[in-house]
Amino acid sequence: MAIISWLSSSIFLSLFTLFCLSISNASWGTEAARESCRPISSLINKDLFHTMFLHKDDAACPAKDFYAYNSFIQASKSFPGFGTTGSLTTRKREIAAFLAQISHETSGGWATAPDGPYAWGLCYKEEINPQSDYCDSTNKEWPCYPGKSYKGRGPIQLSWNFNYGPAGKALGFDGLKNPEIVANNSMIALKTALWFWMTEQKPKPSCHDVMVGRYIPTEADVAANRTAGFGVVTNIINGGLECGIPNDARVNDRIGYFKRYAQLLNVDTGSDLDCANQKSF
């Protein structure tokens, strides 16, 4: 099944590439269509990436030299919709939001850190001192493998067997028997973060759909005050622990990263940045 998933992704990528080639010089291609075909690297080059993550390769960071710019660009190519959907503003805002969320998950910053707390994203590649092995033994679809820990790993800090299993299936590795690969292979690590970002897990929408304006709140979402914006993305990722709490430090940290990256990309953040008044999914 992983092969089928990989083939489907490859076919989509090939068709997307052919489409972009066909409109590059065609009179019928709209500016919006041409914009969507410009690569991620046209919006975030290597210098900007290193400006965003000033300290990721410091000796103090356990993930030193793990999250390379080229790995990020190559990993994004496996998800053609990421950072290529919608207007230039939408594209930039999605990239800023994604980088903000993974920065919070891997942050090594503190209040008085050099260059500020939001210059320390991508400092960690796996959870330190996990409180459990994150095995949900009641999940029979993605059963835990004996002796394995499904602690947080990679940029999004992928956790639990019910996330490692489907991520591995989609990306072509055995997430249940070999979860450690997410902390040992930078390309796979970045792909797991993008997989989580792009994948709908009902009743949650995908983070991607929220940031590109495709999220249409259901009646339950409206009742829970889950309005479209960066706050809903935080709710998707860790709403059970962070949302519905006024002035939560973790939520504020995510917002702080988002504001910094949005400024560096010269785009506004939009509204509804926190989830203080939202119920979790």
- Which residues are annotated as catalytic? 105
Beta carbons within 10 angstroms of residue 128's beta carbon: 8
Q: Which of 95, 100, 158, 165 is nearest to 130 (CA)?
A: 158
CA angle, corner 203, sides to 102 and 134, nearest 5?
Answer: 55
Q: Which of 268, 193, 266 is nearest to 230 (CA)?
A: 268
Q: Are 222 and 68 in contact (CB under 8 A)?
A: no
Q: Which of 223, 228, 186 is nearest to 205 (CA)?
A: 228
Q: How far apart are CA 279 and CA 225, in angstroms?
A: 7
Q: Are 124 and 149 in contact (CB under 8 A)?
A: no
Describe the crossing of helices 230-242 and 88-105 by its angle, rounded to 10 degrees: 20
